[in-house]
Amino acid sequence: MPYYCQLGNIPHKRHTQFRKKNGGLYSEQLFSTEGFSNDYSLLYHIYPPTDIIHTDEPIDLRPAIAEENMLKHRSFDGFKISPTEDFLQSRIPVLVNDDCHIVLAAPKNSMENYFYKNADADEVLFIHEGEGTMESMYGKINFSAGDYLVIPRGTIYRMHFKQENNRLLIIESYSPVRFPRKYLSPYGQLLEHSPFCERDIRPPSDLVSYDEKGDFLIKTKKRGLLYGLHYGHHPFDVVGWDGCCYPFAFSIHDFEPITGRVHQPPPVHLNFEARNFVICSFCPRLFDYHPLAIPAPYNHSNIDSDELLYYVEGEFMSRKNVTRGMLTLHPGGIPHGPHPGAVEKSIGAKETGELAVMVDTFHPLKLTVQALEIENPGYTMSWAE
Ligand SMILES: [Fe+2]
C-alpha cells in the first residue's frame, strides 16, 4: 500500500543470481497479500524460507460467539481485560464478523521464545499504552502510544515491550488494509487534501540479518487455528528487500483533522479502509466556527453499518460517563446521537481534546463471550430522561 522502499542489499536486477561471499545463492521470496496482482516486495534470505523441521498440534483460537443478533446500543469497558504475561494469550476477541475481528490485549511481556504470523488477516495494532519495538523480517519499527502498526498478513513478527503496562486495540482485517481511495492519486500518492502524507508513514529500518540455524518456532494463525511451525533457521535472515508491501507505523498524532464552519461528517476522520469496514481517527481539533454552530454531532441513522468507537483520551462532549479504553457499539438499524444535554452544552465550545478510534463495519458485528463479561449494562437506556 505505501510507497516504494528499499533496505539492505539487493541485486541490481530482480530474479537474477545474487550470491553470498561463499558463492552460494541468496533465496529470493516474493511477498504479497493478493497473489501477483497487487503491491509486493522481494526479500532476499540467507536460508530458504521453507525449511519446516517439525510441527505442533494446533490450538483452537476461534472466538466463542455469545450474541449473533441484537439491536441495541452497547458499551464495554476495555480496560477490564486483565493483563496477561504472553502476547498471544493476552489477545481477547470482543466483536467479530467475516471482515474483521476487534481484539483487546494487555500483554505484559515481550515475545522471547517464538515468532508470530497471522496467515489470515492484516493486523492493525493501535498502541493505547506502551512503547517498544516491533521486529519483523523487514527490520525494526519503534512504537509508542498513539501508533497504529499496520502489518500485512503473512508477516512474521515479534513484539518487544519496554515495560509491563501495555494496552492494545487490535483490528484483524480479512482483506488488505489500505489508505482511503479518495485520498490517493491513480498511481498511489497521497493527495494534497489527505489529512496525512507519506512523511507520516514510518517503514521498517535497522535491518538485522540473523544467520542462525536451530529450532525456531513461528506460531502461525490460519482459519482461527494456531499452528506451531518449527523452522531450521532464524526467520529474520533477510539481507535486503524492496517493494511496496511491508509493515509500517502511523501515529494518530500525525493525523491532521479537517474542520469547518459547521459540523463535519464522520468521513473526514477516515484513516484506513478495507473490505466492508473503515478505521477513523478522531483527534484534538478546533470546533466549528459558524456563529450559530452546534459542535455536538447531529443524531444520525447509520442504517447500513455498525459504529464502534474506542475512546483513547480526553473529554467526549457527546457522551456521559466515558472512560479511557471504553468501547461503544451503535448497531446499524437504530439512530444514535448525543446524550441528553450534550447538544446545549457543546454550544460555544472552541475546541476538543478527544482522541478516539472508530471502526465502522458494513456488516453486523457479533459479540463474544468475553465481550459480555466487560459490558456496561446501563448504556442501552442511557438516553432516556
Ligand atoms: Fe455515529
Tens digits of per-residue pLDDT, 136-150? 999 999 999 999 999
- From the list 304, 234, 307, the residue with the least C-alpha distance to 269 is 307
Ligand 1 center–CA 298 separation, angstroms:
9
The alpha carbon of residue 190 and the mean position of all alpha carbons in its chain are separated, in whole angstroms, by 20
Q: What local confidence, expressed as pLDDT, does residue 385 receive?
A: 76
Ligand 1 center–CA 300 separation, angstroms:
6
Give the residue-averaged pLDDT of 332-355: 93
Largest CA distance in the chain: 78
Extended beta strands in 98-181, E state? 100-105, 115-118, 122-129, 132-136, 139-143, 147-151, 156-161, 167-173
Q: What local confidence, expressed as pLDDT, does residue 321 receive?
A: 78
- pLDDT tens for 190-223 read 999 999 999 999 999 999 999 999 999 999 999 9
> Which pTM value belongs to this model?
0.97
Ligand 1 center–CA 114 separation, angstroms:
40
187's CB contacts (< 8 A; 6+ apart) are none
The answer to whether 367 touches 69, Cβ cutoff 8 Å, is no
- From the list 336, 382, 329, 362, the residue with the least C-alpha distance to 94 is 329
Q: Is the dihedral of CA 323, 324, 326, 327 positive or negative?
A: positive
At residue 231, the 3 state secondary structure works out as: strand
Give the residue-averaged pLDDT of 104-131: 97
Ligand 1 center–CA 115 separation, angstroms:
38
Q: What local confidence, expressed as pLDDT, does residue 73 receive?
A: 96
The answer to whether 215 touches 230, Cβ cutoff 8 Å, is yes
Ligand 1 center–CA 261 separation, angstroms:
20
Worst-scoring range by mean pLDDT, 260-269, 304-313, 314-323? Answer: 314-323
Share above pLDDT 70 across residues of the chain, in percent, rounded to a whole number: 99
CA distance 155 to 78: 27
Q: Is the dihedral of CA 142, 147, 153, 158 positive or negative?
A: positive
Written as nine digits, the cell of 93 is 476477541
Ligand 1 center–CA 270 separation, angstroms:
13
Ligand 1 center–CA 143 separation, angstroms:
29
Q: What local confidence, expressed as pLDDT, does residue 319 receive?
A: 72
Ligand 1 center–CA 4 separation, angstroms:
36
Ligand 1 center–CA 333 separation, angstroms:
12
CA distance 137 to 206: 11
Ligand 1 center–CA 307 separation, angstroms:
6
Ligand 1 center–CA 5 separation, angstroms:
37
CB-side exposure of 224: number of CA atoms within 13 Å? 12
The answer to whether 173 touches 98, Cβ cutoff 8 Å, is no
Transcribe 348-372 into DSSP letters. Answer: T--EE--EEEEEEESSPPEEEHHHH
Ligand 1 center–CA 7 separation, angstroms:
42
- pLDDT tens for 4-28 read 999 999 999 999 999 999 999 999 9
Q: Residue written as cell 482459519?
A: 223
CB-side exposure of 91: number of CA atoms within 13 Å? 20
- From the list 309, 304, 305, 300, the residue with the least C-alpha distance to 328 is 309
Ligand 1 center–CA 330 separation, angstroms:
7
Ligand 1 center–CA 259 separation, angstroms:
17
pLDDT band, residue 322 (cuts 50/70/90): confident
Number of H helices, E strands in the chain: 2, 28
Residue type, 51: D
Residue type, 271: N
Runs of H (alpha helix) within the chain: 342-346, 369-373
The secondary structure of residue 342, as a DSSP letter, is: H
Given a cut of 60, whether residue 49 has pLDDT beyond it is yes
Q: Between the ranges 192-206, 291-305, 314-328, where is the mean pLDDT highest?
A: 192-206
Given a cut of 60, whether residue 156 has pLDDT beyond it is yes
Ligand 1 center–CA 193 separation, angstroms:
23
Ligand 1 center–CA 111 separation, angstroms:
37
Ligand 1 center–CA 152 separation, angstroms:
28
Q: What local confidence, expressed as pLDDT, does residue 1 receive?
A: 56
Dihedral, 95, 96, 101, 106 alpha carbons, nearest 10: 30
Ligand 1 center–CA 337 separation, angstroms:
7
Written as nine digits, the cell of 375 is 459490558
Given a cut of 70, whether residue 297 has pLDDT beyond it is yes
Residue type, 159: M
Ligand 1 center–CA 106 separation, angstroms:
27
80's CB contacts (< 8 A; 6+ apart) are 373, 374
CB-side exposure of 102: number of CA atoms within 13 Å? 30
The alpha carbon of residue 264 and the mean position of all alpha carbons in its chain are separated, in whole angstroms, by 25
